[in-house]
């Protein structure tokens, strides 16, 4: 079919009446509508820039959230965010990487189902090579992001408290008050005090009180993957604000490739497909990739040309390489008393006390989990008994569990990477992403250290330890980072300090794929801060024309 339109009507065969033909005079084309793309689109549109956003997945209506929640909690029901199938196919090598377990393609991206914890990186994370002789340094430091971190916290509506003695410097309090410690947090507190471990609150991107036309948290407990109340931030908020400012957002249009000018110096168009298979060319003056740590790299590789035979923006060979994630470490068991687990669907207490330790170098943060053990709702729905017998069964399985989780840093390794699978194709005939991923000895040592601390806490609490997630059984936190890393040396990186690609003057990349190192903090607040900073740099470049 024609790359300029073709058959199928303006909506691409969806039947919803939405015009999916290209915008005729876009200044900026953003690919992806997760937090990175939504924040960039809103900031630029709010300044009067003509912005079009291309989103691969659908627009999920908020009115359907309760139904999605019900699908989630009923045994055997499908993924509430419609992930899977040929569209989302992938392959993996080394340690198995379950890519589709925690990503969403749709307006709002993975914030549709994230847990919502938002911490700043520490100062050490920006200078790992200088401080410890490992990894690499960022081309920016904490001070360069500090004001943007504050902007991001206001954008999200972060609930937090100034009670973390290990946190990096702040210029102002959080926008919203922190959620109070849970009942099980209070049980941990006494044991941690005896062990001289400092507990403090968790910054959460969910409303502890009404904020930004969103309701306060109502305690549904299904935060991941569905918040029916809207208290948890999703990027849909800034998509709506971008649209109100004049941006156009087109859903169900996966970008197939980027096309450049004859010289190979600037991008001319993003070629996207509508559901009926029709291809269109969206032209613009500037292009922003914001489709995640895997898909950003994949799209650059899919766009290989005679001038860029190894993929766009890949003169360094770094596109797809240095793939990182955070590793989960945890331990749990039971107490001989009620713990009221699963009353809160998110973490309210954590500790960064061990984060900046230099041995091992990899950072780790510990989380006091509020959702250990089975959910009584899911247990009841899947039970074969009824009445008093079911109550007795639930009494045996629910309410006495405790657990301590944690995230552990993974340092960049060029052999951990995203490539194109030569044999497997998606629903448009493109090679699917191939994930090559493994853990190094240093990371495994950091996981074992986290387990030692977790066991000490549980033993001090008097819990019987029933399970441990250590190096052999660990899995990812689904924070895909590093595949289009930033740096000052074009021979070693993909984008510069402003997240503009070294090789193409009008191509920018935002999201965790630009992280040179990942620390052990959940990445979304840093994604947001970097995206706001990039939007300002892009805006300045538009003004200079």
C-beta of residue 103 within 8 angstroms of C-beta of residue 292: yes
C-beta of residue 471 within 8 angstroms of C-beta of residue 444: yes
Other C-beta atoms lying within 10 Å of the C-beta of residue 17: 8
Rounded to 10 degrees, what is the CA torsion of 197, 198, 199, 200?
-160
C-beta of residue 246 within 8 angstroms of C-beta of residue 254: no
Give helix then strand counts, H and E, for the chain.
11, 19
The β-bridge relationship of strands 200-201 and 349-351 is antiparallel
C-beta of residue 138 within 8 angstroms of C-beta of residue 493: no
Quick one: tokens of 189? Answer: 């507190």
Q: Could you say which DSSP state residue 62 is in?
A: G
C-beta of residue 493 within 8 angstroms of C-beta of residue 483: no
Q: CA 53, CA 51: separation in Å to the nearest integer?
A: 7
C-beta of residue 508 within 8 angstroms of C-beta of residue 534: yes
Which residues have C-beta within 8 Å of that of residue 533, sequence separation ≥ 6?
A: 144, 145, 148, 498, 499
Q: How many CA atoms lie within 13 A of 20 on its CB side?
A: 36
Rounded to 10 degrees, what is the CA torsion of 13, 17, 18, 21?
60
Q: Report whether the peptide linkage leading into residue 360 is cis, meaning its omega lies within 30 degrees of zero.
A: yes
**Could you give the residue numbers annotated as active site?**
479
User: Which 3 state secondary structure label does DSSP give 271?
Assistant: strand
Which residues have C-beta within 8 Å of that of residue 497, sequence separation ≥ 6?
A: 139, 140, 144, 486, 488
User: Which CA distances in Å does 40 have to 36, 52, 287, 510, 528?
Assistant: 6, 11, 11, 9, 9
Query: In 209-222, which positions are buried (b, 16+ CB within 10 angstroms) versus exposed (e)?
Result: eebeebebbeebbb
User: Which CA distances in Å does 104 have to 60, 79, 145?
Assistant: 11, 10, 27
């Amino acid at each position: 079919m024609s790359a300029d339109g073709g058959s199928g009507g303006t909506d691409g065969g969806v039947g919803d009446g939405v015009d999916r033909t290209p915008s005729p005079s876009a200044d900026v084309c953003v690919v992806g509508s997760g937090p990175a793309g939504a924040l960039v689109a809103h900031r630029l549109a709010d300044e009067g820039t003509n912005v079009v956003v291309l989103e691969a997945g659908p627009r999920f209506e908020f009115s359907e959230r309760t139904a999605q929640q019900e699908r989630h909690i009923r045994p055997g029901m499908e993924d509430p965010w419609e992930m899977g199938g040929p569209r989302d196919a992938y392959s993996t090598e080394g340690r198995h990487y379950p890519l589709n377990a925690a990503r969403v393609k749709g307006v709002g991206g993975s914030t549709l189902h994230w847990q919502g914890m938002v911490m700043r990186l520490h100062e050490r994370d920006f200078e790992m090579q200088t401080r410890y002789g490992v990894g690499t340094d960022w081309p920016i430091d904490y001070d360069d992001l500090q004001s943007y971190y504050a902007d991001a916290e206001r954008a999200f509506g972060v609930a937090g408290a100034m009670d973390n003695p290990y946190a990096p410097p702040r210029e102002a309090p959080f926008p919203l008050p922190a959620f109070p410690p849970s009942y099980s947090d209070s049980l941990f507190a006494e044991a941690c005090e005896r062990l001289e471990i400092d507990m403090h609150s968790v910054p959460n991107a969910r409303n502890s009180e009404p904020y930004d036309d969103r309701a306060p948290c109502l305690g549904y407990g299904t935060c991941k993957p569905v918040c029916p109340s809207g208290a948890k931030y999703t990027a849909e908020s800034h998509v709506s604000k971008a649209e109100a400012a004049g941006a156009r957002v087109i859903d169900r249009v996966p970008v197939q490739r980027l096309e450049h000018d004859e010289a190979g110096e600037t991008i001319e168009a993003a070629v996207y497909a509508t559901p009926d298979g029709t291809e269109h060319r969206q032209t613009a003056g500037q292009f922003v990739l914001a489709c995640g740590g895997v898909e950003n790299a994949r799209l650059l590789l899919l766009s290989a040309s005679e001038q860029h035979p190894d993929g766009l923006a890949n003169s360094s060979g770094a596109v797809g390489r240095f793939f990182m994630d955070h590793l989960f470490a945890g331990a749990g068991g039971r107490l001989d008393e009620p713990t009221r687990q699963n009353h809160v669907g998110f973490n309210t207490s954590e500790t960064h006390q061990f984060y900046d330790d230099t041995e091992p170098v990899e950072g780790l943060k510990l989380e006091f989990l509020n959702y250990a053990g089975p959910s009584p709702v899911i247990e009841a729905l899947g039970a074969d008994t009824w009445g008093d017998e079911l109550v007795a069964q639930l009494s045996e399985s629910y309410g006495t569990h405790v657990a301590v989780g944690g995230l552990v840093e993974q340092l960049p390794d060029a052999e951990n990477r995203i490539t194109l699978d030569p044999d497997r194709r998606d629903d448009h005939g493109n090679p699917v992403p191939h994930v090559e991923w493994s853990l190094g000895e240093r990371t495994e040592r950091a996981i074992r250290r986290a387990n030692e601390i977790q066991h000490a806490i549980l033993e001090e609490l008097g819990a019987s330890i029933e399970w441990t997630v250590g190096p052999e059984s660990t899995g990812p936190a689904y924070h895909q980072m590093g595949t289009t890393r930033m740096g000052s040396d074009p021979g070693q990186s993909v984008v510069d300090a402003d997240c503009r690609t070294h090789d193409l003057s009008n191509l920018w990349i935002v999201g965790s794929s630009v992280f040179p190192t990942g620390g052990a903090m959940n990445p979304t607040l840093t994604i947001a801060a970097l995206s706001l900073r990039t939007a300002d740099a892009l805006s300045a470049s538009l003004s200079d024309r």
